A and B are shown apart, each in its own frame.
Chain A
Amino acid sequence: MAENKWGMIVDIDKCIGCQACVVACQSENNIPINEEGHFNQRRAIEWIRIERYWEGEFPNVRARFVPVFCQQCDDAPCEPVCPVYATYHNSEGLNVQVYNRCIGTRFCANNCPYQARFFNFWEPEWPESLKNQLNPDVTVRSRGIMEKCTFCIQRIRRSTREAAKDGQEVEDGDRGMSPACVNACPTHALTFGNLDDSDSAISKQSKEELKQPAGSRPGGRGYHMLEHLGTHPNVVYLKKVDKTAEEHEVHG
């Protein structure tokens, strides 16, 4: 079996900020209902969120959207600070969180420059009937546990296992394996796949887009978020195109 190294491409020139990914993630991953009070305490949980940045003001105003989630860093700052090895790197390039090891020190969240980790400050609660919707493939996290985007590992596991039953490997772009956010995205701004498979759409595209010199089309729009921190993320962002922007204009 080929080596797997899961990655994602986010084309922010396509992202419209519609929140379809956000709700799809909540549904797939049993994320507790974010009540009004949770927002007020700034403790809402969104494994994937849409950040909005203002530029200028009326009438020459712009708002730009960027989806932010765990970057599955190869050198993840969250990993070395966990005293109980609850967060570690698996063989497929994923930064995973072992819930039943986590003791809730929150060091990892402090150390994550992408603020992609969320702490369960409360025991998650649903009215009895809404529990029927919960995904049986995903553990409900209890109070005191850290959680974050898993690239929908349950889907990767299920589809690879089902393919293996027939002696096959999962095909690139298989919707059964793609994370919930990727399937939901109406503009196809998100691409998921195996970076180590040289034939996969994502590895071809990321090579094309990350090539130097940056900035020229086609290709050359790729960058890693907060690259200078040396976290080596497995998520590649593709730059927003703006005809009026000056080269290397700085935002964020």
Chain B
Amino acid sequence: MAITRRQFMTYVGGSAAGAVVFQACGVPADELLVQAPVEMPEDLVTGLDNWYATLCRQCSTSEGIVVRVMEGRAKKVEGNIDYPINQGSHSARCEAGLQALYHPDRIRGPMVRVGERGSGQFREISWEDALGRLTEQLQNIQNDGNQSSVVMATDPVGGHLGGVVERFVSKYGGRHMGYEPMERTTVRRAIKHVFGQDTMPDFDIENSNVVLSFGADFLNTWGSPVRHARGYGEFRQGDRERGDFIHVDSRFSMTAANADKWVFVNPGTEGLLALSIAQVIIDEGLGDAAAAQALTNNGRFNLGAFAPDNVAGATGVSAERIHEVAVQFASHGPSVAIGGGSAGAHTNGFANLVAIYSLNQLVGSVNKPGGVILNPTSPFKDVPVTAGVDSFADWHRLAEEMRNGGVQVLMVRDADLFHGLPQATGFKGASFNVPLIVSFSGFIDDTTAMSDLVLPQHNSLEDWGSDIPDAGPGYQTVGFQQPVVRPFFEHRGEHLGTRNFGDTLMAVALGLEMDLELPGDTFQDVLKDGARQLFEENRGSVKAVTFEGFWNGLLQRGGWWDDSKKETHVFAASPLVEVPQASFSNRDFYLMPFATTGIGDGRGAALPWMQATPDPITSATWQTWVEINMHTAEELGISEGDVVRITSDAGSIEALAYPHPGVSPNVVAVPVGQGHIAGGRYAKDRGSNVYSILDASSDSTTGALAWAATKVDIVKTGEWKRVPKLENTVTEPPRDDERLIIEITPLDS
């Protein structure tokens, strides 16, 4: 019988005679019985719960979530059914936000380095001391007139916090750089070229008849996977005819596994394939004639050279297959073409993606149901939708500058540069020429471990924030993030514990006597001012007479959206661009790095639930494995669990072999995100970091890291280690005609 002490005190408090009080309170009689022998302990109800709406900040798409809070502790994350992006669903990564909040290795307060840099030895100091140290350094640099040697590196920080960061950096005269390990620079540029838009579009999979995707693992990790998956459910078995899904990829990903047809394409030839599909569509007059004229620049772009017969050899896709896909795509619309992931991560990534997205123009799918839905601009004057991301080329240049002593202070928040930037940039070595590295991260990632001063931020569930989803749902949407619990380290007093990143910057600005011209003294004021702008617009999902009422409504719903505010302007198609040949080094296998369901691009590595989430294809967990074709493995004498050395031009790592039937013989695939030198007890010294061995090659147009452009050799080391995987945890039932696990039916039998 679980009556908490508090409940008991309440009951007894009403009267001296407990038994009488119980009845008087109207508590059902059966709850007061001693637990019946057959009653589950779960039958007992304890305490009251509250659900608060906020945003999940575990990956770059911020889903709207509601968090169950009991007695001041967050217990469970679920999707916010009101929020337009995810409409009630959520991903495995959202759930694990709880483990980030209660992680045993969270930073508990400001710290200063005491040992050698990178030794991980820190001493706790007070906030006043920490802010004083940073302010003093920045002041000295300012006095020397050397402000441009101060660099602020963050994750792509959007919403109002992004505004505060921009304001701080520009007022001071430093530089702000955005960092993503598997950056979306190329896809953004391609979207801009094809659709004339700065924001990412929404894909209306739900109403589409044919989905043709290239390289993007869009049901798993790419873009807005929960939103895509929701549409996919309808696409398959909604109140409509079942849609067709073709996935073109060099790796057999989870998305490929769900396609009706997986088309293997030689890495770096995705653009050729897309041009060939366009050629068939135009040649057979299946597409929009005006768009065909515009795309080929009135016939000046010679598509004839890309006829299926001419590209079959290079792409590894037969001419018949190309023809079949093109006809299906063009004649069973509405159809949508999606490109990203590895297709955009080659040295010709931009050209590939332009060719892919142009297919939407060709079949008239732009801003039409079942096609590509363009997103409108931000409802705020001063907060753009798209958070700035710098390309790999920019980071490479920064490393060079650091080496030459051109950077005095490197400030970092949630940008794990030491883990994500390839060895070939020499970033790690160059960092020793930076006199001061400051981290604002709330967690010891590899970069924070290399820093000198730490001013830790709150966990996102303890913090204020906002987000304009990019891609949005096709209309103006703003998510609001509110603290659902009090800061976990609040009990340590105001001199210790964590703080909001925006507040920290505002405190530093105050110390520098720098006026940021922000509406208020705290980040919450800035956010409220943003909300006031929406209130004054007097439209959208939250209606209220007073601002206080509006603000409460906003937080209850988890945001604001106006489904009447859509993008209506559609640019005419721009001409196609030549697809240059992708360049690779001369080694045996194409290396396909990929983000996993659990730890993503590495951001989830610290969380045990994410480490223990089986990869959908291999069911492997906790380690770095290498997927290799089972016959190739046999020829090389490699079997599951063999430790193999993977060597590129830039370096080598070790990984556990996992041969399977879905890999092409000329490809090996390795998950990213492990091999941290710090990252707490669950991530440190676990697996290998495949980012580190990537060649420093970049997209020739955008300068983005061409993370799929590395070739490697593999050698068996002779060691063996069991692959920690879910598969075989339970014995497989005998395979015979009588014992079906998955039954399959043709569409209309």
Write the residues of chain A forming the contact surface with B, with a CB cutoff of 8 angstroms: 11-14, 16-20, 22-24, 26-28, 33-37, 39-40, 42-44, 46, 49-54, 56-59, 61-66, 68, 88, 96, 98-101, 113, 115, 127-139, 150, 153-154, 157-158, 161, 175, 180, 183-189, 214-217, 221, 223, 225-226, 228, 237-247, 249-252
Contacts and interface: CB of A to CB of B under 8 A. Distances in A.
A225 B741 contact: yes
B233 A239 contact: no
A221 B749 CA distance: 11
A16 B232 CA distance: 9
Interface string B64-93: 000000100111111101000010111110
Contacts of A17: 254, 257-258, 616
Given A136-B46, A221-B745, A242-B744, 16 more contacts: A16-B254, A18-B229, A19-B613, A34-B621, A44-B726, A53-B742, A62-B262, A63-B617, A64-B744, A127-B681, A150-B42, A184-B95, A238-B237, A241-B746, A243-B746, A250-B740
B741 A18 contact: no
Given A132-B73, A183-B88, A252-B735, A56 B743 contact: no
B616 A20 contact: no
B569 interface: no
Given A20-B89, A34-B612, A157-B42, A251 B741 contact: yes
Interface of B: 28, 37-38, 40-43, 45-47, 70, 73-79, 81, 86, 88-92, 95-96, 98-99, 101-104, 106, 219-220, 225-226, 229-230, 232-233, 236-237, 242, 252, 254-255, 257-258, 260, 262, 264, 488, 597-598, 608-614, 616-617, 619, 621-623, 629-631, 660-665, 681, 722, 724-731, 733, 735, 737-749
B597 A19 contact: yes
Given A19-B613, A186-B229, A13 B727 contact: no
A171 B617 CA distance: 37
A239 B731 CA distance: 23
A177 B70 CA distance: 18
B462 to A, nearest CB: 13
Contact of A133 (B42, B45, B102, B747): B102
A132 B99 CA distance: 10
B741 A66 contact: yes
Nearest to B745: A239
B236 A241 contact: yes
Contacts of B252: 58, 61, 63
Given A61-B662, A137-B45, A186-B233, A20 B92 contact: yes
A62 B257 contact: yes
A16 B42 contact: no
Contacts of B740: 223, 225-226, 250-252
A19 B428 CA distance: 35
A249 B629 contact: no
A184 B661 contact: no
A162 B661 CA distance: 51
A45 B735 CA distance: 24
Given A35-B612, A88-B38, A157-B42, A133 B242 contact: no
Given A13-B237, A136-B70, A246 B746 contact: yes
Contact of A130 (B88, B102, B622): B102
A185 B102 contact: no
Contacts of A138: 42
B237 A19 contact: no
Given A40-B724, A63-B257, A133-B99, A18 B748 contact: no
A199 B612 CA distance: 39
Contact of B89 (A63, A100, A184, A240): A184
B745 A215 contact: yes
A39 B622 contact: yes
Nearest to A53: B742
Nearest to B258: A16
A127 B681 CA distance: 11
A217 B45 contact: no
A132 to B, nearest CB: 5
B236 A64 contact: no
Contact of A49 (B104, B726, B744): B726
A127 B104 contact: yes
Contacts of A245: 744-746
Nearest to A33: B608
A215 B749 CA distance: 6
A72 to B, nearest CB: 14
8 contacts: A115-B730, A129-B488, A137-B42, A161-B28, A226-B739, A226-B740, A251-B740, A252-B740
Q: Which of B45, B92, B747: most chain A CB closer than 10 A?
A: B92
Given A27-B77, A50-B614, A136-B70, A64 B664 contact: no
Contact of A132 (B102, B220, B232): B102
A252 B724 CA distance: 23
Q: Which of B233, B631, B743: most chain A CB closer than 10 A?
A: B743
